[in-house]
Amino acid sequence: MCCLFVRACVYARARALCVCTYTRLSVPREAPGFSFHRNSDGSLFLSERPYFEDRQCGASVNDLWFTRSDLGLRFVIRKITSCFPYSFRRKKPTWCLTTRVPAGPFNGFGPGLRLARSCIANWSGMTTVESKRRRRKKKERRKGREGRGNGFLPGRIASLPWVPNLQAPRDLDSGFLLSKEEEMCVLWIHNIQIPNRIERGPTDILKALESTISRDYTAPHYKFHDDPFLIPQSSMQNRSYALAKESGRKTAMWVREEHRDLFQHKVADPEIKAFVPLPIYTEESKVTEETLLYEISNGNVANCITIYDLLKGEMTIPTKQALLELLCFYNNNERTDEWLETHWYKLKQKSKWLSYSQIDVLFEFLKEQEPKIAAAAYTAMICGLAKYLRADKAWHFYDESQGKNIPLSVNGYNAMISLVPMLKQEDLKSKSLTYIYRAMTTNGITPNIHTFNAALNVATTLKTNQSALDFTRETLADITKFKLKPSLTTYYYLLKILSRFGDASYNNFIKILTSLKNETITVQNENDLNFFIVAMEMASQQFCDRQAGEMVNELLLTGENYKFINNNKREYFYYRMYLELILATEEFETFFKLYSKLVPHVIIPEPAVMNAILEALKLHPVQTATQYIPKLWSHMIMFSYLNREELLENILHLMSVHCKPVSDSPLNAQFAEMALTIWDHIQAQNSKRLQHVFVSNTIIGNIILLLLRANNFTKTTEIISLLVRSPHLIKNGQTITTEHINQIFELCLAQAYVPAIFTLLEYVTFHSLEGAGEMAGKLYKTVSLTLNQENILASLVGNDVLQLQISDKT
């Protein structure tokens, strides 16, 4: 209940600001729809909103009403008559008792306000607070409304003719003048346009909600458990975790199939067909043609063949045609199951055509029927043979159908055009295509976009660039002639043709991307899935242009276009090209921002990408390389890349050569820890395998150097001793390079660590390397050796060699 004591109410300027000075206002603090702003003089300014004025009469506080806030109409406050103080205390205002009561459903409301309330209530579902006076005199108002228009609309306005695209009330030939308020109402009514109904699917609301949420690059994919211990950290774990989760579903379905007698209860109402075990048909099963049609609709090839044999071919011609099309489409493959992860990680395998006896029987029967039925049978056979690349048999049936003057459907001709690239002779390709075009024209078959897509595929196989270009221009002219909209496959073949012309095709490449920018792309052909891969490859490898790469990536992330990256292999290839492009065209800091955004939850970089990053760091200053080495090292461990020799060589080279720290730098300890991790990993792998892991001599040499710079002489001695006992750990029978041996000796000599030098001398003499005598003489002169150490030194290099080195030094 709102109690409002009002002293005065005035209209604001033409902008319709209502100002109400007051003495007391009691309103719920959180009442919806109220929007007050207190002025310095104590008045209340209602939010500036459009509203309809009515100059005919005033109203009391009972005429205060509010609407939904989103309509913008907060309050309508009427001018108060001079008798307000007295009439406010009465149950009925004084002006309601007068004889001059304005017409309309609300006493005191003019046509403008009546129409405003009518339109809002009828078209927007607005709720209003009606006055007690209106509720008490419902019957009187209903009677008073008769003859005054339709419902809330005043008669004068309701009777006006409808004028489309009305711009001003003066356009109406109404025969009388309208007030200012009525003019506003007429314009309002005529400017409202109710859109046509849009058909919505059952999941459209979910898609709309999903489109409001952007991808969280800091979180793993939703298919993984949101648990630190269950989030995959490598590409192998990604595959294993995803397939393991799906394997559980497959196991449940297998149990349901094998023990169907245990699952007789209904798990859903209405019944979900996917959860019901597939029926099993035997020789005792009673089947009908309807049963066969049901299995055909579900794509169960094995059951369809069984039912067909049980019926002994006794069925109508349309059913036989449907069965033939099913067998030609699936052939020896079962219906594709909706196992998303299996399809994501499964590589495509070529299928071979399997000749069912049922196919031959059905086809031989149908091709002898009337021409329309025979044409459908030939089309089904040719499409199936073309799908499984049985070109010889498809050409045989095509020539047979043309010899009988049996016209194929457009799909049949498209299938034959798709086989033209398999012809070896180039002149035979153009002749065959012309032959098919002529047959389509003769039989009145209108080509579609798939016809010309197959023709563009022929252009990609032509040997010379000029012939391919001329053929492409003719095909594009035909597409324009028939007013067809190119599909993504069209652009895919165009990109393949443009890739022949190098940088000269850049402008056309950009035009293709620009034309696709504002289009809604749908999947029409399997080759649509190749477009983004080829586009990013051209932007990265052929043009090496950042702008082109960003245009491709922006197009991929628009709407639902990411569905064109339909498997794991395509995703890895796409992002490898994209990251290599950014790495080659941008500063390393810019590249690493993108790298940190995508890795590891969107993509795990391939070893080739990681190797390119490490190679790029060699070209940057020491400070830049030192900043990013720890992050890249942690990713190498996370992604299980410690078995990649080229990565180990590059990361160790960065730490030991390019970013060589000073002797007292804390980086020495960090680099030594990384080197020790690599060595421990090698040893762990060798302990698990019968065949040992072999590494290069540069990897071993850099590991030893990094350990020595951190004064880890114990581990250094252990590694060199192991190399003496197991020289095969270094691949191809190699030894530590002379450069590394000299650096190792100088570091040990600087710290006077004699045991490590003795082990190094043992390794040098074991492999008969040069420089053992020089190192022994330098050690003898630099470090004060004990008698026992002198004897060990003499035994390692020989007493004669040692004495010779000592005498030479003196």
pLDDT of residue 234: 87
Structural tokens at position 163? 């004028």
Structural tokens at position 458? 């022929």
Q: Which of 687, 695, 757 is nearest to 729 (CA)?
A: 695
Pairing label, strands 19-26, 3-10 = antiparallel
624: left (phi over 0), alpha (psi -120 to 50) or beta: alpha
> Which of 277-281, 412-416, 526-530, 787-791 has the lowest average pLDDT?
277-281
Q: How many CB atoms lie within 10 A of CB 26?
A: 9
Gap between the Cα atoms of 539 and 229, Å rounded: 38
pLDDT of residue 585: 96
Highest mean pLDDT among 89-93, 133-137, 587-591, 794-798: 587-591
Alpha-carbon distance values, 79 to 55, 86, 381 (Å): 9, 15, 84
Helix and strand tally (H, E) in the chain? 36, 4
Gap between the Cα atoms of 484 and 476, Å rounded: 10
List all residues 6 or more positions away from 350 whose beta carbon is below 8 Å from its beta carbon. 389
557: exposed, middle or buried (Cβ count in 10 Å: 0-12, 13-18, 19+)? exposed
Phi, psi angle pair for 25, to nearest 5°:
-135, 125
pLDDT of residue 145: 45
**Percentage of residues of the chain with pLDDT beyond 90:** 52
Alpha-carbon distance values, 279 to 74, 419, 540, 741 (Å): 64, 38, 52, 75
Per-residue pLDDT of 691-744, as tens digits, reads 778 899 999 999 999 999 999 999 999 999 999 998 888 998 899 999 999 999
CA dihedral 64, 68, 72, 73 (to 10 degrees): -20
Per-residue pLDDT of 200-229, as tens digits, reads 888 899 888 888 888 888 888 888 887 888
The full DSSP string for 410-459 is HHHHHHHHHHGGG-S-HHHHHHHHHHHHHHHHHTTPPP-HHHHHHHHHHH
Q: 222-239: buried (b, 16+ CB within 10 Å) or exposed (e) per residue?
A: eebeeeeeebbbbbebbe
Q: Are 119 and 150 in contact (CB under 8 A)?
A: no
Q: Is the pLDDT of residue 751 over 80?
A: yes
Q: Map out the domains of the chain as residue ranges.
A: 214-267, 273-337+347-370, 677-809
pLDDT of residue 331: 85
Structural tokens at position 361? 């029987």
How does residue 96 score in pLDDT terms, banded at 50, 70 and 90?
A: very low
pLDDT of residue 572: 93
38 has which bridge partners?
A: 44
- Higher pLDDT among residues 29 and 670, named by residue: 670
pLDDT of residue 477: 96
Per-residue pLDDT of 494-549, as tens digits, reads 999 999 999 999 999 999 999 999 899 999 999 999 999 999 999 999 999 999 99
- Mean pLDDT for 594-607 is 93
Structural tokens at position 545? 């242009």
List all residues 6 or more positions away from 237 whose beta carbon is below 8 Å from its beta carbon. none
- Mean pLDDT for 585-590 is 95
Structural tokens at position 397? 């049936």
Q: Which of 531, 514, 513 is nearest to 522 (CA)?
A: 531
Gap between the Cα atoms of 676 and 700, Å rounded: 11
List all residues 6 or more positions away from 521 whose beta carbon is below 8 Å from its beta carbon. 488, 528, 559, 561, 564
List all residues 6 or more positions away from 659 whose beta carbon is below 8 Å from its beta carbon. 622, 625, 626, 629, 667
Gap between the Cα atoms of 185 and 193, Å rounded: 15
Which DSSP helix (H) or strand (E) runs through 746? helix 738-750
38: exposed, middle or buried (Cβ count in 10 Å: 0-12, 13-18, 19+)? exposed
Per-residue pLDDT of 214-272, as tens digits, reads 888 888 888 888 788 888 888 888 899 999 989 998 898 889 888 888 887 777 888 88
Highest mean pLDDT among 259-273, 334-348, 611-625, 769-783: 611-625
Q: Which of 51, 48, 55 is nearest to 67 (CA)?
A: 51
What is the C-alpha radius of gyration for the chain, rounded to an integer number of angstroms? 43
> Which of 79-83, 422-426, 788-792 has the lowest average pLDDT?
79-83
* Averaged pLDDT of the chain: 80
Gap between the Cα atoms of 456 and 496, Å rounded: 10
pLDDT of residue 535: 97
How does residue 188 score in pLDDT terms, banded at 50, 70 and 90?
A: low
Gap between the Cα atoms of 512 and 519, Å rounded: 12
List all residues 6 or more positions away from 140 whose beta carbon is below 8 Å from its beta carbon. none
Which DSSP helix (H) or strand (E) runs through 36? strand 36-38
Gap between the Cα atoms of 780 and 790, Å rounded: 8
Phi, psi angle pair for 608, to nearest 5°:
-65, -40
Gap between the Cα atoms of 803 and 797, Å rounded: 10
At how many degrees (to 10) do helices 546-556 and 568-585 cross?
150
How does residue 632 score in pLDDT terms, banded at 50, 70 and 90?
A: very high
Q: Which of 570, 498, 557, 568 is nearest to 528 (CA)?
A: 570
Phi, psi angle pair for 148, to nearest 5°:
-115, 30
332: three-class secondary structure by DSSP: coil
Q: Is the pLDDT of residue 40 over 60?
A: no
What is the residue type of 290? Answer: E
Gap between the Cα atoms of 70 and 632, Å rounded: 52
Q: Is the pLDDT of residue 600 over 60?
A: yes
Phi, psi angle pair for 347, to nearest 5°:
-80, 145
Structural tokens at position 280? 């099993």
pTM across the whole model:
0.74
Per-residue pLDDT of 294-334, as tens digits, reads 999 988 898 999 999 999 989 999 999 999 999 999 887 77
Q: Is the pLDDT of residue 442 over 90?
A: yes
* CB hemisphere CA count around 179 (13 angstroms): 14
Chain center to CA of 687: 43
pLDDT of residue 700: 96
> Which of 55-69, 97-111, 280-294, 575-589 has the lowest average pLDDT?
55-69
Q: Which of 645, 710, 698 is nearest to 674 (CA)?
A: 710
Place of tokens 């095509």: 398
Structural tokens at position 2? 């709102």
Place of tokens 């190119």: 486
45 has which bridge partners?
A: 19, 37
Gap between the Cα atoms of 493 and 459, Å rounded: 8
Gap between the Cα atoms of 589 and 786, Å rounded: 55
CB under 8 Å, gap of 24 or more: what pairs does 46-49 form?
A: 46/17, 46/18, 46/19, 46/20, 46/74, 46/75, 46/77, 47/74, 48/15, 48/16, 48/17, 49/16, 49/73, 49/74
Per-residue pLDDT of 645-666, as tens digits, reads 999 999 999 999 999 999 899 9
Q: Does the CA dihedral 399-429-485-479 come out positive or negative?
A: negative
User: In the sheet that 44-46 helps form, which strands lie side by side, from edge to edge?
Assistant: 3-10, 19-26, 44-46, 36-38
- Higher pLDDT among residues 401 and 350, named by residue: 401
Q: Which of 450, 536, 437, 534 is nearest to 486 (CA)?
A: 450
Q: How many CB atoms lie within 10 A of CB 543?
A: 18
Cα end-to-end span (Å), the chain: 114
4 has which bridge partners?
A: 25
Cite the beta strand spans of 234-306 per DSSP E: none
Q: Which of 481, 502, 426, 504 is nearest to 459 (CA)?
A: 426
pLDDT of residue 223: 85
> Which of 5-19, 435-449, 597-611, 641-655 has the lowest average pLDDT?
5-19
Structural tokens at position 548? 């082109």
